[in-house]
Amino acid sequence: MVIIVETKIDEKRMEKIRRRCGFVIGIDVRVEGSRGGICLAWKEEITVSLKNFSKSHIDVMINEDSVNEEWEFMGFYGSPYVSNKSASWNLLRILGQEQNHPWLVSGDFNEIMYSFEKSGGQPREEKKMEAFREVLEECQLMDVALLATYTAEEVYSTLKGMGPIKAPDYDGFLALFFRGSGTFAKSAFVSGRLISDNVLLAYEILHTLRQKRTGKKRFMAVKLDMSKAYDRVEWGFLNKVMLWMGFAKECVALIMRCISTVSYAVNVNGRRGNVFKPNRGLHQGDPLSPFLFLICSEGFSSLIRLAKREGLLKGVKASRRGPEISYLLFADDCILFGDATNRGEMVLKEILKEYERSSGQCVNFNKSTIFYGSNTTEGDKEEILTLLGVRCSTNLEKYLGLPNMVGRWKKESFQNLKDRVNLRIERWSTRLLSQGGKEVFIKSVLQAIPTYVMSRFLLQKSLCGELENIFAKFWWQKGQRKKGIHWCQWKYMCCPKEEGMGFKNMFRFNISLLAKQGWRIINN
């Protein structure tokens, strides 16, 4: 079955196109001038009966031989015009009230649920997204995209909310172990280092490049995208690096035995294929793999340090007396800094080629981006782009999950925090939580979501207030789609247990996290 919206052609032409694609049976809704038009097409294997239709939807019942129960399918086209949005949502509400069967809605709603679903352009108004989320909730519809895999930040916040000696799975590994391993915590492998060090350095250096409008020295920042980083690690290279770093031969032999004895088999249609053995790569998910990948990355670090020692590569200073920073490396996330000249670009490319030949790693230049200082001329930019073969960007977007540049649009830059909180609440909307369960959920999950951002950036007081409004709405509601009465202001709920519930005041929490960061910088 296929649904096509906004066909912009009449029924006869649409029918010809549909038949040409192998769909003999279908329903076509005519266009209005050069706008709109819907086509629902299906193969003869299923039985379809029409319930109703309009210029914005086609509603049908589906019967399949392989499924015992009849189910309903709707192709929906939401109006792209702001003035007609409410009419589209009211139509969806009316159709949702008539449902007595399993219901699947597909098409183009011309709206998004959360700001992170949109790339570029002006930020979407929160009220419009909230209206869309409300109508979906009223119709008991769930976005299939919510079934995506969890992000590293979500996994980390969940682990932080667990008891340190609790085992989340049958393998017996404690939550304390996972907090110290994995891509999201590799900075803990180096004594005295935190992930925030890389974030703050990247932010300051990129800010320096952006503000540098005069002077003869021109600099650039290159964000590398490593293709299949773990899968391409050469075992021979890893073995030599460990020996060069001073690991005992017996230890290296034991580690290499763990890596090289792995085997795989592929299941096809329930049948297990032949067993085969790889000759390179690290298994993602193995607790040992992140450590070994960092050891492999030491080869790249050594090449950078050697080039810098010989005067071939220069770093960038965030201040006159500050140290030169030539690269920031965090697992497979890497940003390189250097001279925006042909010589600097050629040295950089030779280092990458040498690293690729030795380690098996491969830089995806099509996905890598380059950012220039403001004083770099257009001629130099074109020459470097031609030689290096990467995309030019005015903003390196995000690094380690945080924006590299914020500027005046701080509230818009962190709009995704509200989306993530709403998204987590929505996942629990169909589950019953007691008031005590809500307390634990807010403290351990919802209020932990902004912690990573708050420890690096000062959020606007209004944004912190909006986050607290979401917490309050969830706390006082008495059920799904029931708002509930707010019996007291949220600031009283943030008082200690003797007077309130002990929830965090988000703005004060933000200040305390930044103070902790400042204290660490002063003392180290």
Which CATH superfamily does the domain covering 2-141 fall into?
Answer: Endonuclease/exonuclease/phosphatase (3.60.10.10)
Query: Which ranges in 368-505 belong to alpha helices (H)?
Result: 378-388, 410-413, 415-427, 435-441, 451-454, 461-476, 490-493
pLDDT at position 70:
86
Domain ranges of the chain: 2-141, 195-232+286-403, 414-523
pLDDT at position 218:
80
Distance CA 396, CA 328 (A): 14
Distance CA 46, CA 38 (A): 20
pLDDT at position 481:
61
Q: Which residue has the tokens 């249609």?
A: 269
Distance CA 384, CA 379 (A): 9
pLDDT at position 117:
78
Query: 502-522, pLDDT tens digit by residue?
Result: 899 999 999 998 898 888 888
Q: What is the CA radius of gyration of the chain?
A: 28
pTM value > 0.75: no
CA angle 260, 266, 267 (to 5 degrees): 150
Secondary structure of 187-245 as H, E, C letters: HHHCCCCCHHHHHHHHHHHHHHHHHCCCCCCCEEEEEEEECCCCCCCEHHHHHHHHHHC
Output the CA torsion 8→10→11→14 (10° steps): -50
SS3 58: strand
What is the architecture of the domain spanning 195-232+286-403?
Answer: 2-Layer Sandwich (3.30)
Distance CA 481, CA 508 (A): 31
pLDDT at position 313:
80
pLDDT at position 187:
43
- The gap from C-alpha 285 to its chain's centroid, in whole angstroms, comes to 19
Quickly count: other Cβ atoms within 10 Å of residue 373's Cβ.
20
Q: Which helix (H) or strand (E) holds 177?
A: helix 175-179
Under-70 pLDDT residues of the chain = 120-121, 145-195, 331-332, 395-399, 401, 404-405, 407-412, 429-431, 479-482
Closest CA to 114 of 105, 124, 106, 100: 124
